[in-house]
Amino acid sequence: MDKQVLIHLLGKDRLNAFVVKFADSFIFETAFTAIDCPEATYEWRVYSLDQMLDGFNQSNSVVSLQSKWKLEKRSLSPGMYLVKVFITFNWGIKYDFGFLEVVPSGIVARIDGGQNIMRGQDSLLTLNASVSINKDVEPGNYKGMNFSWHCKEEHENIGNMTELQVIQEGAGNRSGCFGTGIGRLDSTERVLKVDPRKMSTGVTYTFRVEVVNEKFSDSYEQNIRLVTGPVPHVSVR
């Protein structure tokens, strides 16, 4: 009996390869199920197209002997792969193939505390961007990640912040967080500390952190409203 063997989603050429991010897992299966033929056996093989040029060892390419193959996150390095499934019946073998591309996952910029917070003017402002992550590595690994900070009053237009000059905290009569104009703060640390006494109460300021590595960039904004004295305590009953 002829059985259809077709791997769902995988394209038949490299230009139509199915894309999975390095930090994600995914389950691949075929149009054929064991219910149709319970005596069938399976063998999934994955071949790195880059390594095949260098004599890829096919004996090490078996990734599953089940009816489905679960691609575990971070198990295949970014690159292009040829995926094959062989199904053995009591009357012979059928197979299908497709192309899979594993790509880097990107980075996520964040500032601890959320997008809108209130702070008093009587203590240093601490903006913690250590919660930013590179999704391709474990949390807390910041290798290759660069941080930059920008600041403005909420109503002001930041524009292209990468073209702005570095500004310093200090007195002045212009716009921005410190009256010295909108611009990039003089810090590349993951944690930024700002003296709010050089800022005005009753005003909402927008701080933006931009996080970049060699492949990706992301940004996050936190709006901080400064109030006189300690932050009011709100309780829900």
Q: Give the tens place of pLDDT for each residue, 85-135.
A: 999 888 888 889 999 999 999 999 999 999 999 998 888 899 999 999 999
Set out the domains of the chain in order of their start, with CATH numbers.
Answer: 14-103 (2.60.40.10), 107-227 (2.60.40.10)
Which pLDDT does position 4 carry in this prediction?
Answer: 66
Q: Give the tens place of pLDDT for each residue, 151-195.
A: 888 877 665 444 444 444 444 445 567 655 566 788 899 999 998
Give the DSSP letter string of the chain: ------BSS-BSSGGG-EEEETT--EEEEBS--TTT-TT-EEEEEEEEHHHHTT---GGG-EEESSSEEEE-TTSS-SEEEEEEEEEEETTEEEEEEEEEEEE---EE---TT-SEEEEETTS-EEEE-TT-EETTS-TT--TT-EEEEEEEETTS----GGGSPEE-S---SSSSSSSS-SEEES--SSEEEE-GGGS-TT-EEEEEEEEE-SS-EEEEEEEEEEESSSPPP----
Prediction pTM value: 0.73
Which range, 1-5, 139-143, 173-177, has the best average confidence (pLDDT)?
139-143
6-15 average pLDDT score: 88
